[in-house]
Amino acid sequence: MPSLNLRQVTVNFPFPPYDCQKDYMDKVIECLQKKVNGVLESPTGTGKTLCLLCATLAWREHFKDTISARKIAERLGGEEMFQKTSLSSWGTAATDGDTPTYYTDVPKIIYASRTHSQLTQVINELKNTSYRPKVSLLGSREQLCINQEVMRQESNHVKVHMCRGKVSTRSCVYYNNVEEKSTDRDLVNSILDVEDLVKYGNKHRVCPYYLSRSLKQQADIVFMPYNYLLDPKSRRAHNIELNGAVVIFDEAHNVEKTCEESTSFDLTPYDLASAINAVDRLLVEQAKEVSRGDSVNDFNVESLGSGLKLDIDTIAKIKQILLDLEAAIDSYDIPSDKGITKPGIFIYELLERAHLTYSSKTAVYEALEQISGYLAGQTGIFLNTSGLQKLSDIIQLVFCGEPSEKDRQLQMQTNTAHFKVHIHKDTSYNKKKQSADVWASASSKKQGNVLSYWCFSPGFSMQDLVNQGVRCIILTSGTLSPLSSFTSEMRIPFPVSLENRHVIERDQIFVSIIEQGPDGVHLSSAFDKRFLPENMASLGNTVVNLSRVVPHGLLVFFPSFPLMEKTLEFWRANGQADRIENLKPIFVEPKGKGTFNEVIDGYYSKVNDPASKGGSFFAVCRGKASEGLDFADTFGRGVIITGLPFPPKMDPRVILKMQFLDEMCRRKAPGLKYLTGQEWYKQQAFRAVNQAIGRVIRHKEDFGAIFLCDQRFKGTDARAQLPSWVRPYVRLYDRFGNVVRDVSQFFRVAQKLRPVIEKKAAAESSGTVCLPDAQSSSSTFLSSSQSCFAPKAKALDAHLPSLKRRKLNEHTGAKGMAQICIEYECEVQGSQRRPANLLDALERGDHRHGEDGDAGEEKAHHLSTLRLQNDKRMDNELRGGKRKIKLVQEQKASMSEDVSEEDKAIRAKKFLAEMKKSLSQVNFDRIIEALQTYKKKDDLDVLLTETAVLAEDANTHSLLRGFYQFVRPHHKKRFDERCQEMTGQGCGFKPDHTLSKDEKKALMLQSTSGKTSTAGLTTSTCAQLNTQQLNRGGHHLTQQGVRQPQTASVAKNEVHAAFLSDVKKALGAEKSAQLFQAIQSYKKTENYENLVATVVSLFTERDEDFHLLVRFGVFIRPHHKKQYKEMLDALIGQSTSAADVPAVSEDQQRAGGAPSSSPLRTQSKISSFFSSSQRM
């Protein structure tokens, strides 16, 4: 593992670092050595997290060594033990007079990120390094608790109090094992994420939640979400000690918002009503006890067996405090559409009216905590105690610190300097009705007010961290610019800063600002334009057309959920959604957390599926998909930003934030530079955009395209807000056709320069490499030995470039050319000799056909004869006719033979015998019985229920998919979907599998009769395909054969007239005039660029107009035909020689006919082009 020396610290790095990574690690070590704060920006894809971990842990090890050096020096009486290494060379830690000399004083590293999913990625990066520190990961009970009784509770605060109750009484069996297991050496030395902790807890019956807290005490590095660190309540709850610690905030672009939210609150009428109701229930319960004979003076709630030490008078006082607080908040008359705003210090005046002061805060807080804990532990009727919990949190937040009486006023002013109090009407409908008595909450009788206490400066939380005695704070992210304004808001000094460059080259990124859609409508998500039908339609057409040219995964980000939902609703009603779905199936980010993983996994599977055209993922800026998720390589080849996600300008909190910043600017505090309100407002939108943009380029070899589809991006100020690594590549387009042309060229070049490396499983001892099972979703069940043949087919493309455009699906398993590839590869491995040309390769494959022919035999049986006929027909169309190469014809002939009923019976018998070996007799008998029932009653549900046992073990997944052969045609699609759901792999369903035998025969007869009219190659043509020609690699393998000279029976002007007539019918008068004008201009000026921009924008708006784009080639002048041909290749995916543009004959043009393939077929070719190019 390479190592480098930075500031006298030796850093071990997994690979030779780039210069930008060295710069980054140098800055990290500078912060740590000098005990100063740092703000470091490094673009996504530069290995920021890995650099951060390696530099920090290397410095920590070095720090320990300094202590060892000092101890050795002390024992030697000040003499140097290592003559070549002076004590000062160990750094400032070894020479500072106040340096600790105990190993326990080595700084602990607190590593915080926004979410646990991001922390899981960080922990995985740590596993890739040579460092093995002691690790702890803090999480919530929601994530780590494995006690089923606790987890069944509905609300989080009830779970907390129930857990605490079980711990205090030692009635949780999992908690009771924590002390014993926390010293397990294997556990202490392991690097575990949340999932690993839960697995360990279930296996060893120990509580993961308290186990992680126990490990924290001896950990070198502690991982946690940063709200645990910034929220004082959470910090106290998790007992996080910060004195002397190094604090790192990764993905720190969210720190500002989290700092403000962690110290703000909204107290609603429902919160107060639920709190009053809970306390009232406790009073009623106590009153019943008193009525049974207990005296009020001697009464103690301990008689209820709860351990609660509060008398009935104290509980009554708590209820009175709640009622007084509610009355104080509701005493303000507020217009329905407005609120009133007060300075932050007003919060103390308001709370004092409810007898909440610094003097009473401790007693009230302890009483609220006891009541919450008692009620949460009660069985029977559920009581919502969230209101009580919120009030406890408010008391801790507002009355922070313990000032003396004379310093109290100064403390209150300091606490509230960056806060505002806002009181407004409650517009929610989540109000709890109370019993109608004199003690009842007023909120049940009229609409109440909401008390909001909002923080407008993240510096409040940052200063609190500094006051805890941290060694240094490092903020890092890919999107922090501009750093000056970012650091000024934090209100703490950042002597070290860095704006790092990217590691990618110019040919890896394409950035375009698209001002208008294909129909010429200006694109904008501005408030007054976002819901205009013409704007939504133009945006839909833009996404459709970009879906054609972006290979594999496409990300589409909207400014907000409401805008995304409204736009999708419009697209579904007007057909754009269907067109996108046909090109790239749509996956939509859900609002809630529950189904997110399911949706994102579906998207990943669709992009990974070799049989698919890719997928499109629709998400929102600031959503989960835009923050920290990895869309590397094929998962994110393009990202479309549909608009600028500005905060809602009429939101009271946004208005007050802008006013607060303007007020700070007017004060002009020395040494601090604040943003204006308007600058902050713009910055919020662009930070969200920049985060979404960062999903595409994830490492040095990645590449992708960024489309900014809003005319507001074209302004100089707007472009200046984009990341520094993006700005040099931004291009502004005023015509959509130019975008399509340039991005097609970009991907064509990028895929040649950086072909995707397919993921493979570890090589076995025999040297055979098999593809992971997850990637074979389009196949029916295959044995592992058969799937091992799949990657072998790739070697032929490496030797013979001319076949790259004809990349075959690795998992089809059919014979024909795929079988030849397999045989050729086997022969290469045997002789280690590269064939001279394609015919040599085919001959070598022919020699081994008898030996390896069985490998693809079983899979070939699973493909229907109709499917094979269709494959042949598509193959002929792509090649322009059959080639009379004898070997290929024999292979195709073998494929087209019908599988006899006898063969099917034999195969079914073998399958059932294999299943019997793999299952218990009971399970086997039940499945056979279900199969017989299905045969009689045609009830698929019975079969699915009984065969579900096969999904429980990965070794029997292939058996479940094997039942596909027994499923009737009308059930095959449903069975395939169920297999995909249960095993992660489908059965290779194709639409023609739903056809009955009679329907298949009819289509086969139609296919056979059609062959007689198919233009084939003559014998003389075959003679021209000599071995030298075949081995050059080029268009000849995917082109039509050498054509016989055509006799033009109709003048060229008739061809043009027929075409223009079709254009008028398809486009209408206005757009036709636009096209005619472009043609006339081209004739005069020969400006090819302007012509193509117009033509592409007109003919790609609708799928059914694609044939017009091909036929338009008759207007292209000879010296431009090659360029036009390249554009067609990119858009249509069917290679055509420059001389043969257009791809249809003049007879067809004259007749007004479209090309032989339908619009749907054209779509398929477009997508298949990019799919095959990706796998070159």
User: What's the CA gap between 584 and 613, in Å, rounded?
Assistant: 6
Radius of gyration of the chain (CA): 35
From 845, 838, 782, select the one nearest 819 (Cα to Cα). Answer: 845
Q: Is 770 annotated as a binding residue?
A: no
Closest of 623, 604, 599, 624 to residue 614, by C-alpha: 604
Separation CA 35–CA 480 (nearest Å): 22
Residues 6+ apart with CB under 8 A from 1023: none
DSSP per residue, 478-528: S---SHHHHHHHHTS---EEEEPPPS--GGGEEEEEE-B-TTSPBP---TT
Sheet holding 265-267, edge to edge: 265-267, 449-455, 419-425, 339-343
The rounded distance, in Å, linking the Cα atoms of 290 and 1149 is 99
Q: What are phi and psi of 749, to 5 degrees?
A: -75, -45
Distance CA 681, CA 141 (A): 36
Q: What is the DSSP letter of 913?
A: H
- Residue 560 corresponds to which tokens in the numbers above? 């907000």
> 54 among the known binding-site residues?
no
163 is in an annotated binding site: yes
d(CA 654, CA 681): 8
Burial class (CB in 10 A: 0-12, 13-18, 19+), 579: buried
The β-bridge partners of 421 are: 342, 453
Q: Which helix (H) or strand (E) holds 588?
A: strand 586-588
One DSSP character per residue, 663-717 reads HHHHHT-TT--PPPHHHHHHHHHHHHHHHHHTTT--STT--EEEEE--GGGGSHH
Q: Which helix (H) or strand (E) holds 5?
A: strand 3-6
φ, ψ of residue 341 to 5 degrees: the values are: -120, 135
Pairwise CA distance, residues 318 & 320, whole Å: 5
Question: Given the DSSP bridges, would you call strands 704-708 and 586-588 parallel, antiparallel or unpaired?
Answer: unpaired
DSSP string, 1078-1107: HHHHHHHH--HHHHHHHHHHHHSSSGGGHH
- In degrees, to the nearest 5, what angle opens at C-alpha 348 toward C-alphas 345 and 353? 140
Bridge partners for 135 per DSSP:
221
What is the rounded CA–CA span in Å between residue 415 and residue 928? 74
- At 161, which amino acid appears? H
Please report, as a single letter, which amino acid is at residue 627: E
Measure the CA–CA gap between 551 and 1133, rounded to whole angstroms.
12
Burial of residue 1047, with CB atoms counted within 10 A of its CB: 0-12 exposed, 13-18 middle, 19 or more buried: exposed
Q: Name residue, tokens 């009175």.
A: 320
809 close to 888: Cβ distance less than 8 angstroms = no
Give the Cα separation of 1018 and 882 in Å (integer). Answer: 10
| Beta strand spans in 269-425 (E) | 339-343, 419-425
Using alpha carbons, select from 689, 676, 678 the residue that is nearest to residue 722. 689
- Residue numbers in the known binding site are 145, 163, 172, 207
- Residue numbers in the known binding site for [4Fe-4S] cluster are 145, 163, 172, 207
